Structure 1
Amino acid sequence: MRINLTKKDLVNSVYMQLGFSKKISENLIDDFFSLIIENIIKNQKLKISKFGTFSIRYKKSRIGRNPKTKEEKKISARKVILFKPSKEFKEYINNNEI
């Protein structure tokens, strides 16, 4: 069983289901991801109906520790992306178990 879904898999799926050429399918997938990324950066939040919400959260800098060596290092402040699935998505996942 394969765990990862790759961009190539998405392109092939669009190619097979919609009948576009592979190049057009690849451009469509690239544009879709670019649109999502641009909106998250611009608005700090992106809601896709019946799928979920992506948002950006700021994390402060903090002291971290290497568990092996116990050496302390400063972890810099950064932004992280959060995903919260919608109610419909959760219900779909829970009702369609394999």
Structure 2
Amino acid sequence: MVIVSDRALSIENACVNVLPWVTRGICYYHLQQNIIKTYGGKELMYLVKGAAYAHTLAEYNRCMDSLRAAHPDLAAYMELADPNDVLNIYII
């Protein structure tokens, strides 16, 4: 079983408390919408997408370093996610 969510706290709490063994994921579309709504970071979405779809740890780190330099708050939001939930480097 896999649960893919938009990082809503209620879904996260339910997963942790009711289904702790379930594989979780973050929907990139909803992640993108949350970022645009909260940070207005449309111009930085290429870095967010690069980090989210990175196939190597080096590629992920390169995108996140650029994101940290350009928008530290947005980078911190991205880093709150468990890498196992969002990144290809942990899925492949």
TM-score, normalization: structure 2?
A: 0.31
Larger relative contact order (CA 8 Å, sep ≥ 6): 2
Larger radius of gyration between Structure 1 and Structure 2? 1
Structure richer in helix, relative to its length:
2
